[in-house]
């Protein structure tokens, strides 16, 4: 009975591997016959990703700024030991806001560089020639 299970498991594994190998070979063949990428598609992808990241950081920065503003009001409204805790929270949030601002500034530079690379690529790429049958 044990030999039967081992044989069945080996047969199933071999079938799965052979099917996977055929699929992998078909994918590799299809990829080799794929058409060329559009000119500057890589640069456009870089710009899109950098801009999406900048948009996300801008949202985080706005949320953190609102949190700092709320903490400032909490510090002003509290007294005693609660005020000390509110000051600690405010200081931590200010540090986080500064870190996000630095990341946002760096990401803005990345977007600018990606845009410059895209424009350079578009300027150097040959213009597509559209032939129309008249």
**pLDDT at residue 126, rounded to an integer:** 73
Q: What share of the chain in percent tops pLDDT 90?
A: 60
Q: Which pLDDT band, with edges at 50, 70 and 90, does 24 fall under?
A: very low
Kindly provide the residue ranges of all beta strands, DSSP E only, lying in 3-124, ordered along the sequence. Answer: none
Q: What is the mean pLDDT of residues 117-134?
A: 76
For the chain, the domains span: 38-124
pTM, rounded to two decimals: 0.62
Residue 124 has pLDDT above 60, yes or no: yes
Lowest mean pLDDT among 1-5, 24-28, 41-45, 116-120: 24-28
């Amino acid at each position: 009975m044990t030999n039967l299970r081992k044989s069945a498991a080996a047969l199933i594994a071999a079938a799965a591997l052979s099917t996977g190998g055929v699929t992998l070979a078909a994918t590799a063949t299809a990829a080799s016959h794929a058409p060329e990428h559009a000119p500057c598609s890589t640069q456009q992808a870089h710009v899109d990703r950098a801009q999406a990241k900048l948009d996300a950081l801008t949202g985080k920065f706005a949320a953190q700024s609102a949190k700092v503003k709320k903490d400032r009001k909490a510090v002003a409204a509290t007294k005693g030991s609660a005020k000390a805790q509110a000051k600690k929270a405010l200081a931590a949030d200010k540090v986080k806001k500064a870190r996000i601002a630095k990341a946002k500034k760096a990401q803005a530079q990345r977007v600018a560089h990606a845009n410059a690379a895209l424009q350079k690529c578009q300027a150097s790429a040959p213009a597509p020639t559209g032939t129309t049958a008249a």
